[in-house]
Each structure stands twice: as structure tokens, then as C-alpha cells.
Copies of this chain bind each other. A is one copy, B any other.
């Protein structure tokens, strides 16, 4: 077929790849239209255009190796996917790609209480790992909001954050070693079972947060921490303005206090939460104000909480300390209601910027200004202990469902663009914990600079010379990702 058109040749290649996949992996390969459609989107609501050519439900490291060997042979792109709970469009089955699901590789291979580590397959759900560790008085510290449904492999691939990072670190600090299948199907082991080790470059850290663009994580040695002894003490504080709330949270840091949780809700978010929870549950939240939620833990929890209370009151907060679990839970419920309250109004684009803690009040002012100028409502919550803000954009239309393609209107991207640039100007970053994915790709070079962007592309080429691994995530894919 020397005269075949490129399209026909591409279709032939995909067909050949598919035949080989099926021959080698049998029932692990599916081409059911519903299965293909289901992996086009993630929790951001973004959907990849077109349709992947197959989903491989890997059951073993050998399955992953076979998939990548075949993908390399036939030049078919591969999108690795866990639970699909990402918020940046980073694991969505692009047109013609093989979606390699590791969700079924969900075994906990080892828990070693003496060395305070666990060895897991990538598909294990974060909460399941924590349930298993709890028997030993241990926990896995990364706590993204999705922890009940997201996988440890996905947490590692995105270097996930969460509410507890300021005190307990991000995912990177909880990963000791990885086993990774490279683009050609070979197996790479990185890191150690030890808590220290400086032999060679830190590939464990390089692959953590690489969003499926360098290889496929098939096993991880993760660090487990002792569960904190002592009580957890909760504080709720109401401030007259978000500026006052942001300033107060900065004063907590300045006072050298390190609460486990410090969450700040702005007036726009609180108005939606009031509507959602009703007047009784939110009686203490005056209109226009901001709400700061703190939790301290560990052996000095009460002492630290009392110090925090003093700081917050001095900063003008109407603050109270709750030791009673029921009363504390009422405060936590306000924070927990944030996303349900927003989702009840339609689809939500959850943004994710991070600024130095001292600049949070300025960042909130920028958000309020953008909102006033554009007329867009931008309810915002911040992990205030680490300066990580989640401004949310409400997208008109029905709630996100897996089969609804959500188009973010241009005016929202224009506002988001302003947000990102302001965060960079303040010494911050485009994404604190969700990743670049597809949705923030166009701003990547703005943050990295030309030298950094170029270097990162060349590092990717070392791992993935044919640009087959998750093309389109972080970096624009080749014009036709299936072309050689």
C-alpha cells in the first residue's frame, strides 16, 4: 500500500497495535464504546476531543510492560490513568491513544511497621492504604480532598497536596522509591527503602509530579508516619473581611505556630455555603465576612490552639475554640460544604494557585478586583498555612457528568489568565497541587522561563524520545501524536 493516505496508514497502525494488544493481553483490552467514552474526561470536567482506540485494564507489571512495548513499536500514544479524579485534564484519553488503566493494580504488597513504610501498587485508593496502616498506628500523610476516591499512584503522579501539607508535607516527601515502566517497556527502579540516600540523581522526586509524561509508576515504596498522639483541637474564627482573615492567617505563621489545618473561606464562598446549609447551621457567619478554620494536633495541640486563639482575637477575629467533637464538627461542616454548595449551582472550574503566605491578602484583593471588573463570581478557599488558593469559576449549564462535555467560556479563561499572572507576579506558582495537565499547559513557559521550559522538554525526551507518553499533558503533543 505505498499509495495509502496518511489517515489510512494511521488507521492501519492503530489496527495493528490493537490486534497485537489483544493477542498479548486478551480480556484486559477493551474497545467498548462506553468504556472508551468514560476515560475521555476527569473531575475537571474537561473532555478530550475524539476517542481513544482502546483501554487496557492492566493487572500486572507485565501487562504494563507489554502495553508500552507495543505502543512504542506501533507509535501509539499512551495515557496512564488511575481513578480519573484529576483536576487538570492530565489523564484523559486523547484521540487514538491507548488508555492504560492501573486502577485494577490495587494491592498493598507490604506494610513494614519497623521501617515505617508500605509497598503498594499504583491503583490502591489513598483511604484504603490509610485504613490498612491504621492497624499499626501509622498513616500515609498526603491527604488530597479526593483521598476517598483517588489512587496513591495518581497522588504520586501529581505530587498531590491537601489540607495537611503545611505541617506534614506534600506527596513527594512521602515517596521513598518507585518502580517505573519506561516508554520502551523496560523497568526502572528508583530510590530506596531507607529514609536517607544520595546515590545518583533523585529520580524518585523527578518522577513524582511528572503527570504520566516520563513513565508509568507500577509500584511505590511510601513512607508511613506515626499517627499523632493526643487530641485534635478545632478553632473557628470570623473576620470582617477576607483581607483581615488573610492577614490573621499570616500572623499565625508569623507566631511560629503550625496548625495541622488552616482553611480560609472568602465572603463569596460563604454566601453560597449559607444558602446551601441553611440559616441555622451558619448562624455564626455574618454576611461579608471571612471564615478561618484551624485544627491543631499532636501532644501540644491544646497549648498551640490557645496561642492561636490569642493571635486571632488580637487580629480582630471573633474566634472560638471547640474541644467538643460535635461542636467542632459543626465548624468543619462549613468547610466541607464548599464544593457541594458550588456544585449545586452548576459546573465548577476549580483553580489552584499558590503564593507566598505573606502575599495572600494581596492575592485575594486581585481576585476581588477581577470579579468586580468581569462580573464573574469567584468563590475562593485557601489552604492558608501554605498560601495555596482555590479560586472557583462557576460555569453556566448543568452539573458536570461524565458524558457532558464542558466548555469553559473564553471570558473565564481570560479571568484565569489574570489570576495566574498575578500569582506569578507575587512570587507564586500556577498550580500548588493539581498539576499542569492539559488545562494549564499554555502558561507553563510563563512560569518556567525559556531556559527552564526548554530544559524540561529535553528531559522529557530522554525518557520519551517518541513523545508517546501522555502527549498534550504539560507540553503540547506532536501535531499528530501517532506520526513517527
Residue of B nearest to A211 (CB): B198
Report if A114-B432 is in contact (Cβ < 8 Å); known contacts: A196-B354, A202-B205: no
Does A52 lie at the interface of the complex (its beta carbon under 8 Å from any beta carbon of B)? no
- Tell me if A281 is interfacial: C-beta within 8 Å of chain B: no
3 A-B pairs with the lowest CB-CB distances in the bound complex, closest first = A299-B300, A205-B205, A226-B256
Chain B nearest Cβ from A467, distance in angstroms:
16
A298 to B201, CA, bound (A): 33
Q: Given the complex of chains A and B, what is the CA–CA distance between A433 and B42 in angstroms? A: 41
**Min CB distance, A308 to chain B, in Å?**
13
A388 to B432, CA, bound (A): 33
Known A194-B427, A194-B429; 7 more pairs at CB < 8 Å = A116-B253, A197-B431, A200-B436, A201-B214, A201-B459, A202-B205, A202-B209
Q: How many copies does the complex hold?
A: 2
Q: Which of A6-14, A97-105, A442-450 contacts B (4 or more CB under 8 A)?
A: A442-450
Contact (A203, B462) CB under 8 Å given A114-B357, A196-B432: no
Select which of B199, B209, B448, B474 is within 8 A of A448 by beta carbon: B199
24 A-B residue pairings within 8 Å (CB atoms):
A159-B202, A170-B196, A172-B205, A188-B449, A188-B455, A189-B451, A189-B452, A192-B428, A193-B427, A193-B428, A194-B355, A194-B428, A194-B429, A195-B357, A195-B386, A196-B383, A196-B386, A198-B434, A198-B435, A199-B430, A199-B444, A200-B456, A298-B300, A299-B300
Which of A386, A434, A451, A460 is packed against the most chain B CB atoms within 10 Å?
A451
Distance between Cα atoms of A200 and B444 in the complex (Å): 7
**Stretch with Cβ within 8 A of B (4 or more), from A19-27, A61-69, A161-169, A234-242:** A161-169
Q: How far is the CB of A150 from chain B (nearest CB, A)?
A: 15
Complex CA–CA separation, A266 to B299 (angstroms): 33
Report the Cα distance A305→B65, complex, angstroms: 49
Do A451 and B187 touch across chains, with their CB atoms under 8 A apart?
yes
Residue of B at shortest CB range from A448? B200
Chain A, range 21-48, C-beta contacts under 8 Å to B: none
Q: Closest Cβ of chain B: how far from A464's Cβ, in Å?
A: 12
Contact indicator per residue, chain A 275-309, by CB within 8 Å of chain B (1) or not (0): 00000000000000000000000111001100000
Which listed residue (B194, B203, B209, B451) contacts A188, Cβ 8 A? Answer: B451
* Given A253-B114, A256-B137, A358-B114, residue A198 in contact with residue B451 (CB < 8 A): no
CB of A250 within 8 A of chain B?
yes
In the complex the two chains form, what is the Cα distance from A170 to B173 in whole Å? 10
- A residues with CB within 8 A of B: 112-117, 137-138, 158-159, 161, 165-166, 169-170, 172-173, 182, 186-190, 192-203, 205-206, 208-210, 214, 226-227, 229, 250, 253-254, 256-258, 298-300, 303-304, 354-358, 383, 386-388, 427-436, 440, 444, 447-449, 451-453, 455-456, 458-460, 462-463, 474
Question: Shortest Cβ distance from A186 into chain B, in angstroms?
Answer: 5
What's the Cα separation between A459 and B188 when bound, in Å?
14
Instruction: Return the chain B residue nearest A452 by Cβ.
Output: B188
In the bound complex, what is the Cα–Cα distance between A430 and B165 (angstroms)? 31
Contact yes or no, A432 B198, CB < 8 A: yes
Measured between alpha carbons, how far is A166 from B194 in the docked complex, in Å? 11
Cβ contact of A198, chosen from B117, B201, B209, B356, cutoff 8 A: B209
Interface of A is mostly: loop
Residues of B within 8 A of A453 (CB): 200
Q: What residues of B have a CB within 8 angstroms of the CB of A459 in the complex?
A: 201, 459, 462
Q: How far does the Cβ of A13 sit from chain B's closest Cβ, in whole Å?
A: 27
A159 to B198, CA, bound (A): 7
When distances are taken between beta carbons in the complex, the residues of chain B under 8 Å from A214 are: 201
Cβ-defined contact, B205 with A447, below 8 A: no
Q: Are B194 and A201 in contact (CB under 8 A)?
A: no
A41 → chain B closest CB, angstroms: 21
The answer to whether B474 and A200 have CB atoms under 8 Å apart is yes
A202 and B193 within 8 A (CB): no
Contact across chains for A432 and B194 when beta carbons are under 8 A apart: yes
**A382, chain B: closest CB distance, angstroms:** 11
Cβ distance A431 to chain B, nearest Cβ, rounded Å = 5
Q: Residue A206 contacts which of B201, B355, B387 (CB distance < 8 angstroms)? A: B201
Among A158, A194, A303, the most chain B Cβ lie within 10 Å of the Cβ of: A194
Q: What's the least CB distance linking A439 to chain B, in Å?
A: 13
